[in-house]
Amino acid sequence: MKKVKLFNLKGEEIKEVKLNEEVFGITPNDKVLYDAIILAQASLRQGTHSTKNRSEVRGGGRKPWRQKGTGHARQGSIRAVQWVGGGRYGTPVPRDYSKKQNRKERRLALRSALSHKVEDGEVMVMEELVFGTPKTKEMISLLKTLKIEDKKILIVVDSFDENVILSSRNLQNVALISSDEVNVLDLVNSDIMLITEKALKQIEEGLK
């Protein structure tokens, strides 16, 4: 049975929490996990890059000079690719970068990422995460107490507390999401997942 330590807001260890083996204790499927990471990264690309080819640029309707007798190389249009202001060849056009992955694979990838986190000792559970005042120093103090202030931290909560949001938003190494927003890309990009006990139960209910 997989277990992780449960901490309070003072950084004190209260007890150990048992994890659902079906969610946090599977043998990770790295191939499916890799596919899910590529899918997530691809979905961030807008695909709006665009350039004009010679048929789309303005001008160049007539031949710039006659074919022979001028001493110049023969040219058919001033909008060919070799001319300044001409069209472009082989450059990007708008496209859709999105990929597809079926639902079972997406869930397996998420369970694989969570299992890797537990296996590597990168999961910490908080009894609750509520601050009395909206101050960044409140969050910094907690992270220092837990000795993770120099890590990339993904905080997962069951519900958003305004003071927690305001206390964490100025910290570049901290990302705050709710339990229903947990995703593969955020998990693999973080060093530590700091999760509330209620959020942990919600994830287990959603993925078991």
Domains of the chain, by residue range, sit at 3-45+100-207, 47-96
φ, ψ of residue 192 in degrees (nearest 5): -135, 135
In this prediction, residue 208 carries a pLDDT of 79
> Phi and psi (nearest 5°) for 55?
-85, -10
In this predicted structure, what is the pLDDT of residue 2?
A: 85
Q: Per DSSP, what are the bridge partners of residue 123?
A: 193
Q: In terms of CATH architecture, what is 3-45+100-207? A: 3-Layer(aba) Sandwich (3.40)
Q: Rounded to an integer, what distance in angstroms lies between the CA atom of residue 180 and that of residue 134?
A: 24
Residues 6 or more apart whose CB falls under 8 angstroms from that of 168 comprise: 136, 139, 155, 174, 176
Please report, as a single letter, which amino acid is at residue 142. Answer: L
Q: How far apart are the first and last CA of the chain?
A: 15
CA distance 16 to 13: 8
Q: Which amino acid does the sequence have at 55? A: S
Regarding beta strands 13-18 and 3-7, do their DSSP bridges make them parallel or antiparallel, or are they unpaired? antiparallel
User: Residue 155: what are its φ and ψ, rounded to 5°?
Assistant: -95, 125
- Block means of pLDDT (10 residues each) for the chain, 208 residues, are 88 89 93 96 93 90 93 93 91 91 95 95 93 92 92 94 93 94 95 95 91
| Residue written as token pair 């080819």 | 53
Category of 59 on φ-ψ map: left (φ > 0), alpha (ψ -120 to 50) or beta: left
Chain segment 116-126, per-residue pLDDT in tens? 999 999 999 99
pLDDT given at position 156: 96
Taking a C-beta distance cutoff of 8 angstroms, is the pair 23, 204 a contact? yes
Quote the pLDDT of residue 61: 87
Between CA 114 and CA 123 the distance in angstroms is: 9
Residue 145: name the closest of 194, 198, 197, 187 by CA: 194
Distance CA 143, CA 50 (A): 45
